[in-house]
Amino acid sequence: MRKCSHKVVAGFLLGIALFAQLGCSSAQKPGASYPKVDPLRVRRAGGVVQEITLADAMAYHHRHEDHAHDSSSHEGDHEEAICTGVATGYQAIRFATAKLFADGAPDASDIRLSVQGGMPGVWDIFELYTGTELTRPAKQEAKPSLSLESFVFEAKRLSTGQSLRFRLREGFIPAQFFELKAQGFGCDHPEVDEIKGRAARRILSTAPEECFDLLTWHHES
């Protein structure tokens, strides 16, 4: 069960802002061995542009994950693990904003993001980026198998009506990963964990435009 998501987002964003004001770099925080990738940039209230690093995204995901399980923080157990969902969502934001907001960092209230599947890591980075709690796909008793179609994304620039629909390119996540997930193996399974770790690092080390296939690009007249 997801609890107090809005408070978690707001509190974490405040923490990032304080780190920036104090001059603390992400290299001083857990995640120093993460792949080097450009930070996400977003404009908050008052016109202040905030940078969100991969380390920030992973820290938020783990904190949100721990909070959802009603447990105390276990950040030390997570430090260098990379969530495939966070990695894919991070690159999806870079892909979408480069096309929809070529004129600069988007206003957080001017972008809408969603993904076909219910991968928590993707939705967590979308919430962190937009600063709002998002409506995730409803949980179903007969949970559909994870597949490449789960990684179909939609992004919209609300002020212009422009929207994108794009999908993670085939091959970044091996078919074996989807097969193991379909058999009921979770991310704590050693083989699943190894595969998703390799996939996440490959996605992050690839330019966003080479990670996704653009399906549609709609321009409202």
- The answer on pLDDT for 120 being more than 80 is yes
Burial environment of residue 81 by CB neighbours within 10 A (0 to 12, 13 to 18, 19 or more): middle
155 in helix, strand or coil?
strand
Q: How do residues 80-114 score in pLDDT, each as one tens digit?
A: 678 999 999 999 999 999 999 999 999 999 999 99
Strands 152-157 and 111-115, how do they pair? antiparallel
Average pLDDT, rounded, for the chain: 83
Task: State which amino acid sits at residue 32.
Answer: A
**Contact indicator for 218, 163 with CB cutoff of 8 Å:** yes
**Contact indicator for 91, 208 with CB cutoff of 8 Å:** yes
CA trace torsion 57, 196, 141, 4 (10° rounding): -10
Strands of the sheet containing 111-115, edge to edge, are: 111-115, 152-157, 163-168, 212-218
- The answer on pLDDT for 78 being more than 80 is no
pTM, two decimals, is 0.82
Query: Whats the size of the chain, residue-wise?
Result: 221
Phi-psi region of 23 (alpha: psi -120 to 50; beta: other; left: phi over 0): left
Q: Per the structure block, which two tokens stand in for 16?
A: 């990032």
- Top pLDDT among 18 and 38 is at 38
